[in-house]
Amino acid sequence: MRYGALLLMAALMQFDAFAQQKAIDAKPKKISPDLFGIFFEDLSYAADGGLYAELVQNRSFEYNPADNRDWNSMTAWKYQTDGFGYGTISVETANPIHQNNPHYILLDIQDAGQKGVGLENGGFDGIPVRGGKYYNFSVFLNVISSQPLPLTVSLVDTKGRELGTASFTASAKGWKKYSEKIKVNFDEDSAMLQLLVKSPGKVGIDMVSLFPEETFKNRENGMRADLAQTIADIKPKFMRFPGGCLTHGDGVANIYHWKNTIGPVEQRVEQRNIWNYHQSVGIGYYEYFRFCEDIGAKPVPVVAAGVSCQNSGGTWKIGSTGQKGIPMEDMDAYVQDILDLVEYANGPVTSTWGAKRAAAGHPAPFNLEYLGIGNEDKITGVFEERFRMIYDAVHKAHPEIKIIGTVGPSPNGEDFDKGWKLANQLAVGTVDEHYYEKPEWFLKNTSRYDGYNRLNSKVYVGEYASWGNTLFNALAEAVYMTNLERNGDVVRMASYAPLIARIGHTSWNPNLIYFDGKHVFPTVNYYVQQQFASNAGDEYLPGIINFTSADTTAGASCVKDSVTGDVILKIANAGSTQLFGTANLAKLGKLAQKATFTIICGDAKVANTAAHPAEVLPKTTVINMPKQWKFTVPAYSLSIVRIKAGK
């Protein structure tokens, strides 16, 4: 009896879900053109040692034990005296380049020996270089002794073989930037950078930098080309940055302040990362905005809601100091900082902060449309008071900005309910929902947004992922994403998280893209996200795709891109048997007789890894497309059919 009752209950629930879907699918509807995007957070060495193309680690000698208990100003550096030279080396703070960058190295070379005396840096797990390529070196030097100092900068392999070198002379009293171009003659995956002073003297050294000449879009202070291109190839409609937990930080003192990240890199305020490493902020707000523009994604910056992470001072497992608020006497200034951010992004060059944007090299506005306030915060009185202050000020000064609120770290529970209550009271335009769940959760919750009130706040699914990188995980997400499209009138945006992670330094798993110093390894989940984002539409067309039998492990959607006129069908099958159905295209008007057909399929447990990076890849062909299309899709597959408008 009990088993029979469970079967009946399951059947009724499935019937109810299909009834709701039928109601939602009653007629075509406009859906968000910004539905699928990306979320970048600096964890797992996503920025320094990752997307940021800088090859020198701890370039400004600002590492310290607060970042990591085993670190200090000389972490990643070696005092180099291999040619029998000698002298002294010390870390100083008395006369820095800028007060925001207090530490530097003071070398007192008493005998340069056969090779010179100086510093060596091994980068992030070694510096990968390629023969025939050029690398841009720069350093700030302050010559304290009376005579000019000859220097060489070289890239060498682990045995000391020279891969490329350049020489120059430093003579300036006071800090001056010196730049050289190094041509590398041989490939090497684990090179080291050496900076050697070739004669006796005393010199201050800071901001030792090495970039590949070829950055993404050839930008100065730019992004790593292959990793940036892999992100760009998703074709995201937006990018959320600079984080989640990174944004509200580990305690009030660790809250991310955007103003600390702009201007000349040697004047930016470096900071401990909540994920227990260091932020050089070489990728600052200017670079984030520029990168969004370069990949065609709308910028979605997220600022702290005046409170720190509720896990400050501890972990999810063992407890913590807890959420702390910026003192109320400091909140007016903090609110003004956020208003200044909007001006920095959108203000004219005649405005205070628009002028700073222009001075950085971008006179035109960045066209900021969205602003997130808070990140999966605990909804307390401390939070609510500060959120209301920020929300009211931004909404009053900039009604054109779409504000995104927060409803806690889970898809349900106390913070979720309190967050939604606050959002409805304030009529917040969009709220940010987060969930990391098993793939089965995604398959069981495909009707999650069917019953959401279309008159209330819209939804941004700012962070979501199933726990794994197998094909089954990716397909469970794909099934769920077809239903995000079906509910694209209430779900305004969605982004898988986290985006990228350096192998050997992962703070969180799974991730969408893994990488090391030389290669990029997209997961199967990546290819699913790519297919949805690059085949998005702005109108949902109901009743086009029908399965011959109901299946809770399958999902389908049909959308139209009003710009191109293309119609796109998506059929996701996370089940163990093949799937049959029909697509009635007759009522969609004149369409091309052929279509591009892309499929991702394979064994459920297979995954793309560093050792086997191409186990599952999309395969594209051209097929005939009749008005009444009968289809069969394999088990464990995602099929994308894109049909151009007829002529």
| Residue 561 near residue 538 (C-beta atoms within 8 A) | yes
| Residue 203 near residue 149 (C-beta atoms within 8 A) | yes
Q: How far from chain centre, in Å, is Cα 391?
A: 25
Q: What CA–CA distances, in Å, run from 194 to 55, 158, 210?
A: 13, 12, 11
Looking at this protein, which amino acid is placed at residue 98?
H
- Residue showing tokens 């790593």: 224
Spell 283-306 as b/e; 16+ CB within 10 A means b: bbbbbbbbbbbbbebbbbbbbbbb
Q: Determine which one of 266, 376, 463, 485 is catalytic.
A: 376
**Which helix (H) or strand (E) segment is 403 a member of?**
strand 402-406
Please spell the DSSP secondary structure of 260-292, one letter per residue: GG-S-GGGS--EE-TTSSEE--SS-HHHHHHHH
Cα separation of 2 and 154, whole Å? 75
Q: 10 Å Cβ neighbour count for 609?
A: 14
Spell 31-45 as b/e; 16+ CB within 10 A means b: bbbbbbbbbbbbbbb
Three-state SS string over 487-543 comes to: CCCCEEEEEECCCEEECCCCCCCCCCEEECCCCEEECHHHHHHHHHHHCCCCEECCC
CA 232, 234, 238 angle in degrees (round to 5)? Answer: 75
Cα separation of 430 and 428, whole Å? 6
Three-state SS string over 288-340 comes to: HHHHHHHHCCEEEEEECCCECCCCCCCECCCECCCCCECCHHHHHHHHHHHHH
| Residue 511 near residue 520 (C-beta atoms within 8 A) | no
**Which helix (H) or strand (E) segment is 388 a member of?**
helix 381-397
376 in catalytic set? yes
**Which helix (H) or strand (E) segment is 5 a member of?**
helix 2-24
Helix 285-295 and helix 225-232: axis angle, to 10°? 60
Q: 10 Å Cβ neighbour count for 90?
A: 10
Residue 449, C-beta contacts closer than 8 angstroms, at least 6 positions apart: 459, 483, 484, 487, 490, 491
Please spell the DSSP secondary structure of 179-224, one letter per residue: EEEEE--S-EEEEEEEEEE-SSEEEEEEEEEEEES-BGGG-TT-BB
Cα separation of 248 and 271, whole Å? 13
Closest CA relative to residue 475, chosen from 565, 410, 563, 571: 571
**DSSP, res 171:** -
Cα separation of 50 and 307, whole Å? 28
Residues with a known catalytic role? 376
